Amino acid sequence: MEFEKELKVTETNIPGLLVFELPVHGDNRGWFKENWQREKLTSLGLPDFGPVQNNISFNTTRGVTRGIHAEPWDKYISIATGEIFGAWVDLRPGDSFGEVFTTRLDPSRAIFVPRGVGNSFQTLVDGTAYTYLVNAHWSLEQKKTYTFVNLADPELNIQWPIPLEESERSEADLQHPLLKDTKPMGPRRTLVTGSNGQLGHAIQAYVESHHLEGFEFTDIDTFDFSDPSSYEQYDWALYGTIINAGAYTAVDKAETPEGRITAWKANAQGPALLAKVATEHKITLVHISSDYVFDGTMEEHGESESFAPMSVYGESKAAGDIAVANVPRHYILRSSWVIGEGHNFVKTMMMLAKKTTENDSTITVVDDQYGRLTFTKDMAEAMFHLLDSQASYGTYNLTGSGRIASWREIAQEVFELSGADRNRVKPVTTDEYMGNVSGPVAPRPVHSALDLSKLIAAGYQPADWEQSLAEYVEDTAQ
């Protein structure tokens, strides 16, 4: 063991596998070291992985050999006394699957092993104590996700200092499969709320078309995320991402006494509870926001504009945004004028276009509210782009690109695409429209267009809403 080394880190050929040289201070009485010092190690590149458990493996004799086990958590391994030869194998899906790294560890060296990298070691002296910090508690459900590979696999070609036939191994380790028969460790699970909504359907379609694994789709009947007791059914250590596609979007009904309660539960209390569990378990939380958090006085809204909601719906959405923004790993995607599967403005206009063709009538549509359509297909694509590219956490505006238009102009486009006369769509002011509606009507922002430059800078180019509209009308009409 080397004394008085400088603290430093070395990257290996396995992504995320990091070796640390630890300063050990010794004299005739023995030695002392800082085995794990969060601030110093994270400054060198150690992920702030949040250990929750410390385990020790004491090995009586030289030649004890254990592994190769890949577990569903990160771990930081060090030696309390003795020395080992360690071998690590990447068992995550991807180009580095099967990569091998070997080195020796004594009390002056440590290694960080990311989730899904197989771990094994062989003791080189009697009385070796091997210690490791992990960031998840063991459970039977966690154990089901373990992945193994055989210590003696010739494809790995690990040069064990003590021949394996002379080592002490468990019967279970002897039975581990070869690399060619090993199933890569799957990703942490992703929980999606609001799966029966417009965006929820688009997310499910994206997952299916891209053959993604580990997704669980829920709605209020299976997981009411505004109810604290609903969280008890999950082992959150198994999850890496939560996509909150659930919300109360009945803007006018939110102005009623009953609707106000429901809106605040779904749009504020629910996201606050999701934020709490995401923070506690280092989960990435994706949350959908709305242009209604603004008052619409700016012609185009940036991500950093101060909230100024005018309605109960807007107030509840702003409260949810504030809660989610406190999660260290979060994406808030702010949209407007959402169109997807289910009832929406475009489908209503398509139906009216058919009726006007049949009976030569006209309709009136508001002409003094301005924005861009957001199609749920594009929302899903942008969402997974941010997740897959590991874009910087924060808030991103997400709508279609292209010109800013009024609701009347959009209705006219739908009429034309549907084979009807666009001139049958007549303008009406918001005040005139609201005056003809019975019951509470929530105030709408005049300007709902969102600045898309941050999302574009993150590498995603939103589709032009007019092109998306044409495709949507064609697909829906079939």
Let me know whether 223 and 171 are in one domain: no
**Is it the case that residue 259 has pLDDT exceeding 80?**
yes
Percent of the chain with pLDDT over 70: 100
Let me know whether 91 and 211 are in one domain: no
pLDDT (0 to 100) of residue 473: 96
62, part of any domain: yes
Percent of the chain with pLDDT over 90: 90
Q: What's the whole-number average pLDDT of the chain?
A: 95
pTM of the model: 0.90
Chosen domain end from 181, 199, 222:
181
Q: Which amino acid is at 465?
A: W
Q: Where residue 218 falls among pLDDT bands split at 50, 70, 90? A: very high
Q: Where residue 229 falls among pLDDT bands split at 50, 70, 90? A: very high
Task: Specify the range with the lowest mean pLDDT, choosing from 27-36, 150-159, 203-212.
Answer: 27-36
Total domains, the chain: 2
User: Which residue of the set 76, 130, 132, 331 is catalytic?
Assistant: 132
195, part of any domain: yes
Mean pLDDT of 227-254: 96
Let me know whether 107 and 252 are in one domain: no
Let me know whether 176 and 232 are in one domain: no
**Is it the case that residue 143 has pLDDT exceeding 90?**
no
Let me know whether 232 and 274 are in one domain: yes
Find the CATH number of the domain harbouring 339. Answer: 3.40.50.720
Enter the tokens of residue 453. Answer: 């430059």
Let me know whether 418 and 460 are in one domain: yes
Let me know whether 168 and 122 are in one domain: yes
Let me know whether 217 and 296 are in one domain: yes
3, part of any domain: no
pLDDT (0 to 100) of residue 138: 87
Mean pLDDT of 117-134: 97
Q: Which domain holds residue 70?
A: 8-181
Mean pLDDT of 338-343: 91
Q: How far apart are CA 426 and CA 421, in angstroms?
A: 11
287 carries an active-site annotation: no
Chosen domain end from 118, 153, 181:
181
Task: Tell me if residue 334 falls in helix, strand or coil.
Answer: strand
Let me know whether 26 and 154 are in one domain: yes
pLDDT (0 to 100) of residue 361: 85
1, part of any domain: no
Q: How far apart are CA 33 and CA 48, in angstroms?
A: 20
pLDDT digits (tens, 9 = 90+) for 391-433: 999 999 999 999 999 999 999 999 999 999 999 999 999 998 8
| Residues 6+ positions from 45 with CB-CB distance below 8 Å | 9, 11, 18
Let me know whether 33 and 61 are in one domain: yes
245, part of any domain: yes
Chosen domain end from 130, 163, 181:
181
Q: Which residues pair with 133 in a beta bridge?
A: 54, 76
End-to-end CA distance of the chain: 73
Find the CATH number of the domain harbouring 137. Answer: 2.60.120.10
pLDDT (0 to 100) of residue 49: 93
447, part of any domain: yes
**Is it the case that residue 118 has pLDDT exceeding 80?**
yes
**Which run of H or E residues covers position 32?**
strand 30-33
Task: Specify the range with the lowest mean pLDDT, choosing from 183-197, 290-304, 428-442.
Answer: 428-442
User: Which residue of the set 69, 231, 234, 393 is catalytic?
Assistant: 69
Let me know whether 399 and 434 are in one domain: yes
282, part of any domain: yes
94, part of any domain: yes
| Contact between 1 and 25 (Cβ < 8 Å) | no
132 carries an active-site annotation: yes
Q: Where residue 27 falls among pLDDT bands split at 50, 70, 90? A: confident
Let me know whether 201 and 163 are in one domain: no
